[in-house]
Amino acid sequence: MHMDSTVEPSYSSGSVVSSRRAVALSSRLAASALATEGGVMGNEAFHAWFEERQRSHALQVSRIPFGELRGWGFAPGSGNLRHDSGRFFSIEGLRVRSDYGPVREWCQPIIHQPEIGVLGIAVREIDGVLHCLMQAKPEPGNANGVQLSPTVQATKSNYTRVHGGSAVPYMECFVDPDPRRVLADVLQSEQGSWFYRKRNRNMVVEVGPEVEAGEDFCWVTLGQLGALLRLPDLVNMDARTVLSCIPDWRAGSATANAGLHSDTEIRSWVTTRRARHEIVAEPVPLREAAGWHRSPDAISHESGRFFSIVAVDVSSHRREVPAWTQPLLEPHGLGLAALLVKRIGGVPHALLSARVEPGFLDVVELGPTVQCTPESYAHLPAGDRPRYLDAVLERRPERTLFDAVLSEEGGRFLYARSQYLIVEVDEDFPTAVPEDFRWVTLCQINELLKYSHHLNVQARTLVAGMRTLA
């Protein structure tokens, strides 16, 4: 317990003020979203700056055998792949038994990274318009080297500097911020098929003019970010999840958005799915992950499907960045994350699915309508193909509202890319859906995003995508 530090409360006129502040925030965010030409930096200038960053920060990444990893190795007993210092992350085994889906029991490698990191975007009003402070950041697993990242991406070891590393720029904006200037602060999961109970703290904090953009940083409006989000492999996964946690300036008030289901019904649906599905996911030694084989170059499934664990050597032009090696998870095949949307009673609804992924802390999170790696399903009978996949594959171009191939976390995954799609369906598309699906309004999604572990990371990217729609 920290008995010494006390909080001086900021009470003056309470949440009547908060409520006014929320309305004001909503219109300030909306104004930033409308500023598609940018503020501090126009779009042309942005792209020139970004391309320059891509050139100067490019990483040389090459596959190496596990034997050439420096500082990483397989633990003698368990066969787990971990860093000698115990830092960073490790690759361990997971045994999964579930009552869900076509395959009920399996083993797999999974990434363990128990610390809670911070993904933070600083926002600042410049010339009356809110801007987000974004970073051009290289990661070894990025297909194109540098992507646009949040102000801060820091593991707990990074930012507490327990290991004496260099300071994370702008970290001070996110450690003990003025509570009244915190726009969002919520723990959210990452890929539940690849990470074991990983979550990061997604933060958005408003800062003042004392915060300026360093060389690798820029101030962009929400409108600019919306356009950038539609470009391939540009806005990284961490930036997308933080953006989705910004209070939705488009969602409007609860009563204005008449939904198919009440909020209580939606929450009860989540509870039902969590109570109904049983999943036992037990960490096991990587050596015991049946069906997975380790060669000198990769740990792969005997079928060739799913993903492999590989090793890379990473170096940079820049003298101040020392070379390093690390393991990465390399998915096999392009992922697909698609959201069907439909106006019901004039109100846009998105069709979310209750997904069971073995790495989730709480059994079920809500995902896109369809989330799969189509290649992984090729060997299964047609009845086991994901529901609504056909509706996505047969989409008409004029009803495709969002279509971008985006990268997943390049610090852990090698060339992990997914096609993100938002597809509007016709009025006569069935409103009745199977038990694992529900039509949810944007306003309801906005409420769920205020609480941890309700929307998975793929759904959060699509929420960010929804907010770019006219």
What is the distance between the terminal CA atoms of the chain, rounded to a whole angstrom?
Answer: 49
Shorter beta-carbon distance to a second copy: residue 117 or 331:
117
Dist CA 235 CA 240 (whole Å): 7
Nearest to 184, CA basis, from 442, 452, 364: 452
CB of 373 to a second copy, least distance (A): 17
Place of tokens 């001070």: 172
In the complex, what is the shortest distance from the CB of residue 220 to a second copy, in angstroms, rounded to a whole number? 24
Structure tokens at 141: 């697993």
Least distance (Å) between residue 332 CB and a second copy: 23
- Closer CB to a second copy, residue 73 or residue 177? 177
Smallest distance from a second copy to CB 154, Å = 12
Residue whose CB is less far from a second copy, 100 or 217: 100
Q: Which is nearer to a second copy, 15 or 166 (CB)?
A: 15
Q: Whose Cβ is closer to a second copy: residue 38's or residue 358's?
A: 358
Location of structure tokens 């990284």: 236
**Nearest CB to a second copy, comparing residues 14 and 322:** 14
Which residue's CB is nearer to a second copy, number 234 or number 366? 366
Residue 455 DSSP code: B
* E strand spans, 67-198: 72-74, 81-83, 90-98, 105-112, 117-126, 129-138, 146-149, 152-154, 182-189, 195-196
Shortest distance in whole angstroms from residue 125 CB to a second copy? 18
Chain Cα centroid distance, residue 64 = 28
Measured from the CB atom, the residue of 325 and 441 that comes closer to a second copy is 441
Helix segments in 342-387, DSSP class H: none
CB of 309 closer than 8 Å to CB of 329: yes
Encoding tokens for residue 366?
């809500």
How does DSSP classify residue 40?
S
Find the angle CA(391)-CA(395)-CA(397) to the nearest 5 degrees.
Answer: 170
**Residue 252 CA neighbour count, 13 Å, CB half:** 10
Nearest approach in angstroms of CB 228 to a second copy is: 27
DSSP states along 271-283: HHHHHH--EEEEE
Length of the chain measured in residues: 470
- Least distance between a second copy and beta carbon 191 (Å): 19
Which residue, 226 or 386, is less far from a second copy as judged by CB?
386
Cβ burial, residue 95 (10 Å; 0-12/13-18/19+): middle
Minimum gap (Å) between residue 98 Cβ and a second copy = 11
Tokens (6 digits) for 36 = 């598609």
Other C-beta atoms within 10 Å of 17: how many?
13
Enter the DSSP assignment of 103. Answer: -
State in angstroms the smallest separation of the CB of 99 from a second copy. Answer: 10
With respect to a second copy, which residue has the nearer C-beta, 66 or 269? 269
Residue with tokens 């079928």: 303
Pairing of strands 279-284, 217-220: unpaired
